[in-house]
Structure 1
Amino acid sequence: MQWFILSRDQHVLCAPSTDARNSLPIYDDTEDIVLSNNTAITSYEFTVDNTHPDAQKLSLGGYIAYTNKYHQVKLCTLIDHDGDDFTQTWHAEDIGMDLINEQADKVTYKEPHGFAYYANELLADTGWTLGINEISTLSRTLSFDGQEDTKLKRIGDIANEFDGAELEFVVKMDGSTITEQVVNVWKKIGNGKTQQRFVDAVNLSALKTSGTIDSLHTAMAGYGSTPTSTTDTGQEQEPITFADIAYDDGQFFSPQGDKVVYDRVAGKTWARLGAFDPQNRSATKGYLVGNYSYDTSNPNELLNRTITQLKSVNTPKESYEADVVDIKADIGDYVQIAHHNYHPPVYLSARVLEVKNHYTVPNSDTAVFGNYSLLESDLDPRIVAMINGLAKQTEKYPWVRYADDDKGTNMSALPAGKKYMAIVWSNKTSVPSDDPSDYAGKWALIKGADGADGVPGPKGADGKTSYFHTAYANSIDGKQGFSTTDGNGKSYFGQYVDQTQADSTDPTKYSWALFKGADGRDGKDGSDNVPVITVGTAYPTGPKKGDMHWLTNSSGVVTGYYTYDGSTWQANKIDASVISAATFNGMTFNGVTFIGSKFISSFTGVKPDGVADYSVHGTTTMADGSIVTDAYSDATNSQITHTELNQFGLLSNIYNNGTLMGSVQATLGTLTLGSNYQVTSSSPVEWITSSLDALKVLQLANNNLLVWHGAFYPSQVDIATISTPLSKTLSGWLIAWSYFQNGSPTYNNYAFTLLPKAALAYNTTGANYLRVTFTMLNVGTISKTLWYDDTHIVGSDENKGGSRAQAVMTEVYAV
């Protein structure tokens, strides 16, 4: 982590770093980013060792600059500090004293303006300018009565009037130089797409819920500004309304002559018993009416804002508080939260309203969420269409229920966790009965026994193949008319699953269910209308429209599901959402999209490349956007490697008998290396780390590079422009001085001096000059005065006088 400490005039005083030896120690830091009053504000609190010399460079009104984990440059004003002679804790804010300390006067505007007009007027002489503006097409007529509002609060209030727009403060830097401070205006800060997911028992520690209907309204009266009286009667004027407007969008309506807007959906849900008339869409009885005021003289704007206000209060207020681990989402981003231990499970979308990042305390970042909303899943439209189609085919209605056993225990309309299914065709009602006795004798096993009761296979070997067996009979016990091949004329269907290929001839092994009912003697022959379900290796003869057939191979394995359309058998797909299986064996998936799944691949006996007598075992897990592989020695079972590829980069660790020996991490543009290190074989083992980013690679690439050549004393008019900036070198510029004789350098009598990079970072006076001294044959010991900045060296006229004139600068190298 790299920081810059700057003076009030924004000169760099020092550059603390966790990677620099003897640097100013910074610890216990907290970056707090809060979205409040339509502005995203960053505060930074940190503690320093006050005994370090560079601690004295921190001063009230100065700055600390750094790049945070979202790759944003933050420039924070040092606001206050507290501590003693040994430690000091500093608090800094990113929006500066000009917006925190300066107050805005009351003001009234007579005509509408865009946000840029108000912002430019407010930000004048603050150092901030308007940047991105996503609401440039909007205009408002505003007034503010407060005289004690800070400019920060006022600009947030202005943004709120522009449909709740949100602001962020951005600093742009070139190296250690600040180039721009802008205020960006967004309709909403953050990414509207889900950036991170939190699941209980993984990275969700706790979830608290609460709810209320205390302030719920299903209708809202709107009141605008009060017109100024044009007479001397002194009669009090009434505020404007939208009563002259007739409005109806299907859900919200306001009859002409009414100053109230009504919500039909909420009104039907929350009206007291008998008060709401669903047949009369214009009825206004039974609504819960609230009042809303907004200072505008435009009835259309008042109507729109009243509808917006009604939308915010027409549902119960459910609130949630989540405690999560390892927040990576930025302020304003959206996350999803899943808690499966709630009954029913809770699935939420939430917005990040505050994050607390700790750069010196790893893995301790936290967040506060808001704007929670429940996530709901609708029925697949294909299932809805299928249900509607079945209802139209016949006057009989299918009743489907699921249970734990063939007695109907714990009967449910949902198949989750159930082992038996019953189908009953009823001519009474389309609503299935919830009386288990109505399904007696109809229960069929749909989920086999737990595989744990089967034959255990040897370690690592494939499981045994399961076979699906079917049979037909004319009695519920399967003993009358039993057959495993001929289903014609049979009324009962039996099934079971085992690991033996041959069908059993023992009827007691089968679970039996009636699938062909008796003919309806008093009505139409049931066989004319009721679809028949068959199972076998061939299609049945004499099918009718609507019949269904499960086609199997010779081993009894189902290979397809077909329906008869009156002329041919048509293949049908089985929606994956209705399949409930603990294990899939020997399957091939082509062109499949897996959502929310975890993939675990085990391996053993794998020999690393180039190794003949060593093998490893382990697992590779792919889940939650990460691929993690852990490998262990086949010989000792001790961990050898841990490799992780996730949304933010790559981590690779190597172990020796379970002890971490080396680590490579590539994340967020930085390569971090770690390793055990011993000075000698008898020295204690130390863990050392080092980081490499684009700047360090550039510095390494620039090392020993010739960045200037010529022949300067240099005098006051000599300006050497260096091709590689001083800030982008590892150590500085190495200057080569050559003996100057008879008007030209000799290039064979050299002296070298270093203009260190630290001279630029630690200069505190703004003078930026350095006097270098060197000794040269035939010249003696002389000094040269050099003025410098990040890309230039300028001399002094004293450099060309006396013995100083016998040495000239001929080359500069980046080192």
Structure 2
Amino acid sequence: MQITVCDKNLKKLTALNNDFPQMLSFSADTWHRYREDGVSTFDLTVSKFRGGKLHEDIGLITDDVYLKFNFDGDTHIFAITNIDEDDFSLKITSNSTLLEFTNELANPFESTSAQTIAWYMEKMELLGFAGAEIGLNEISGNKRTLKFDSQETKLARLKSLISQFDAEFEIKTQVNKSGSFKRYVINIYHEADDSHHGIGKVRGDVTLRYGRDVKGVQRTVDKTELFNMGIFTGANSLNMGDYVRSDKDENGEEEFYTRKGNIAVYAPKSARMYPATLRDGDNWTRKDFQTEYTNLNDLAAYAFKTLKAYAYPLVTYTVSIQSNFLANYGDLALGDTVKIYDDNFNGGLILTARISEQIISFSNPNNNSLVFSNYKKLKSQISPTLQTRMKEIVEASIPYTIKVATDNGVGFKNGQGQSVVTPTLTKGNKVISSGWRWVIDGVIKSTSPSYIVKAADINQTMVLTIAAWVDNKEVASEQITFINAVDGVAGAKGDKGDVGPRGPQGERGLQGIQGLQGPKGDQGIAGEKGADGRSQYTHLAYADTISGSGFSQTDQNKAFIGMYQDFTVTDSKNPADYRWSKWKGSDGANGIPGKPGADGRTPYIHFAYSDNADGTGLTVTDNGQRYQGYYSDYTQADSTDKANYKWIDRWAKIEVGGRNLAQKTSKEWSLPYTDFKGIANTCPDLYKILIDGLAVGDTLKSRIVLKYTDVVPASGQTASVWLQGSGDVTVWNAGRYNDSSRKIISGSGEVVFEHEFKITADHLKNKCWYWQFRTDYIASGLLQWKLAKVESGTVFTNWSPALEDVRADIDSKADQVLTQEQLNALNEKAGVIQAELEAKASMDTVSKWFVDFQKFVKEDAAGKSQSEKDLLTLTQRIEVMNSEFGDKVAQWSFLDDYMRAGNKGLVIGKKDGSSSVRVSDNRISFYSAGKEVAYISGGVLRIDNGVFTKTLQIGRFREEQYHINPDMNVIRYVGGN
């Protein structure tokens, strides 16, 4: 896209173009078009530098120039209204309308007679002052008696006038061949109704579907403006007393009417559905309207139109579309009407909607967007019988599940006790009534609704199979293993053992009485010189955060303590000198008061750690063991007796999710994303994240590996990336996927994003999030990602595919109706039938097939031999013709290749004779070293040797490389017409 910068005469001064390095470039451009206003705005940022140097044309962009570009065959001109300049760029704001439309005022005006819209526009000077003309006018014959009481801008007056004529408008710019301004053309359309479409057209080729093009649909029902009886009065006390009309619905029931002699218009169907009171009698909800209509037909049309708009609750819809939708429908325009499907509403939701606003970015099409209005709900054309059948099919696809409960667990000791087992059969969220069979070792023990397992019947272990039966068919089964542990019998007392070997030397005895003082000895050997007698000091300080903010050397109420040691008595005031750690948690609830201690005794609390619940193998140092023990006494030394400690499971609150809520993830690197323009808010789409199964208070953990290659930040900026996501209902409001922390990237490398947040009620308003990487100021480079996992829990688990992806992969292995077991059975049955048919086939048929096959082989061999001879003959003939009949041959020679045309066909090949192709009237042959290795003739392709790298299809079966394991091939049934 090229944007021309022009002077007031639309003469070109310079241009902006991102495709040419010598021209000024632009970014962050937003062209916002409004259907209702007939105008648009254009904002963009122009870089002052190109190739590292200040561009010489940047000084030509001032507040008195215009911007011009062509789009879809139309010229668009914008007047600059604001420029914000810094060291690196110009941020420009511009409007599409002339300054007169937005700055000049239209005075109050009144007509005493009905006039056309063209008359009003001329009399109120809405055309000539701006060089504007009326082009298309679909309401040229309509007349109104109108009054405008207040002063307003001419743009506001134009919109008001168009509205009172029940019309829509657009302003087109026309230029001369020289590029200079010619005129503005105002096209006027009848507003959209059952007979007119207004601006744009009905796009029957565009259908938006939830999950593919649509992120979500929000439906709002409002009855605050509802009424079903209206009194409408025009100018000079004109009323509906002499007017008769009755409108019926599609079932022939009267829905709106007015009777002769009655000035009111009624909506009886609405009154029955939404009565004004709960008592019998007058249940009409009435509103009165005063208008300036002087014609009874115009007044009646307005009355019925208004009553139809408010006789029923006002239902509004808000549709959020996927960012990649417009890439497939780039020709959508303002006013176009499209269809929207969403199956997440009862009975399905089918809407039509018009494009009321259009947002276009030339530098970053991913930012393109649409705003819809004029939503209209359509009735489904699917018959009730078919809808019921579709629901039955959906119900049939939901598997049965058995949930089992026991009143005494599954473990016993010494044959004592029993446990009552009670099953429940469910299908989705529904509890299904069923029969039961209880099976042990292949024997049906009972068919009751519950079963008693007795420990006395269990020899070490017992497997109980529970089968659910519906309509005399087994629909699900479950197994439970019960255990009976038995203590061994005490053995007899053994014989007295032999005398053991001599034990080790005992401990040293008590020291004897000290002897008398001996005489003074000689002076000893001098020791080594000691270090300087310096005193070491420990320094403490306090802070609010681990980085030392809120530093204080006296306030011990702060949450973090810092410490360092040196030989200086003065405390440092630099937080960086301290090593910080959290030493004070939030205040807890008051503890249970302890018992009074003995006078003068100091209590001690002791901790120990073990990998075993009973404390076996305890240590007094914490090495990450699962269990922690504690006790208190008045002895300072820690006990090594595990019985003294009370043991607790430190991991009891750890929750492990494991289910990947992100859809269509992979352990392989994604395709590279390279669409960077050096601007903020460039967002590569990642995956759809389901919110299924989450509850308020759950911890959502996300992990993804990002690889960045040759990333170059925009000039003067820092390139960064983080995780974000919009909700399908809340979009970017409260309830969106919480943003992760930002990571700075440059050059090449890998980073791992590990992010978590708590689920709130706002999050659960959505059915899913649309996950993205948000990147800022990446001028060039590429991003790839893998091993994405989003799960509920308190610890990260290894990557695994989403459950829905696994199911889809399984479903793709067989027909959607047939299970694998059914396919195997059908294949076996088909094999038997085939064997029987072959056995019954007559010998004549077999003989005929054998003769045909031998004929094919002979013709194939002959054709191959003849093809090789033709190639040799053609080569020889060309050599002869070159020397003797030069005017009868066409020959082209290149450095390594040649092409010759002769009577036996066209040959293209290598000069060294390594390979060639010959095309004749009945055969295409491929040669290697003069030998035919493949040909196409008579509808048959014959190849001596070949390699298919991806797929090969024969009939209705296709063989291909398995996408999960490249060392395995699979054969799929692909169907046929």
Radius of gyration: which is bigger? 2
Q: TM-score when scaled to structure 1?
A: 0.46
Q: TM-score when scaled to structure 2?
A: 0.39
Q: Which has the higher contact order (CA 8 A, sep 6+)?
A: 1
